Amino acid sequence: MFTGIIEAVGEVVEATPKSGDLSLRIRTGKLDLTDVALGDSIATNGVCLTVVDLPGDGFRADVSRESLSLTTIGQWRPGQAVNLEKALLPTTRLGGHIVSGHVDGLGEVISRHRDARSERFRLRAPDDLARYIAHKGSITVDGTSLTVNRVEGAEFELNIVPHTLAETIMGSYRAGSAVNLEVDVLARYLERLLQGAEQPQGSGLTEEFLAENGFR
């Protein structure tokens, strides 16, 4: 699990096709790897990758066909900058929100413009993910935990402060940029509960119950 608070910006060194999937080598820059062991997880542009080698200046990871089909990894080339975050510890401050590192789908940057010292971004999500995106809710974009400022159908807006622009790859986004999206896991679980799958009889969890208790 992760928090969506980016710890460093790394760089793709190698992206090598291997028997139908992909082997990655990532240079991690200022990310402290002294407490990272083989088998640990590092979120890379929001994708939970398992460390299979530690060459000294970064790590290697294998990427399955499933991950290639759901993320931007297949588009990565040597020299590309990526957001990095190590898996959280029990003592980690939860400054963002609960992030699994399991990308739900690809979004697209529609536009960006200045707003005082911040930047306003407008993105489009896949139609099947749009229902999980709420005004003032949380969303993960390339591994960064962000607050949704406005929603219109499958499009949503973000206000990005200078610190986030400087410490993540968001400063490089342009209209047409593809991004990894992970919706708030609480929204997914809530939807599943409302579907009533294997729900114990008399549990009382209904849309009316939620509305009466402030979940609107």
List the domain boundaries for the chain: 8-86, 105-190
pLDDT in tens, 127-169: 999 999 999 999 999 999 999 999 999 999 999 999 999 999 9
Position 201 scores a pLDDT of 54
CATH fold label, 105-190? Elongation Factor Tu (Ef-tu); domain 3 (2.40.30)
Q: What is the pLDDT of residue 93?
A: 79
Q: Which pLDDT belongs to residue 192?
A: 79
User: Hey, what long-range contacts does 156-164 have (CB within 8 A, 24 or more apart)?
Assistant: 156/122, 156/123, 156/125, 157/120, 157/121, 157/122, 157/123, 158/120, 158/121, 158/122, 158/123, 159/115, 159/118, 159/119, 159/120, 160/118, 160/119, 160/120, 160/121, 161/117, 161/118, 162/117, 162/118
Tell me the C-alpha distance between 122 and 108, whole Å.
9
Its pTM stands at 0.87
8-86 matches 105-190 in fold? yes
The distance from CA 207 to its chain's CA centroid, rounded to whole angstroms, is 28
Coil, strand, or helix at residue 28?
coil
Strand partners, 59: 26
Instruction: Report residues of the chain scoring pLDDT below 70.
Output: 196-207, 209-216
Distance, CA of 66 to CA of 161 (rounded, Å): 33
8-86: CATH topology is Elongation Factor Tu (Ef-tu); domain 3 (2.40.30)
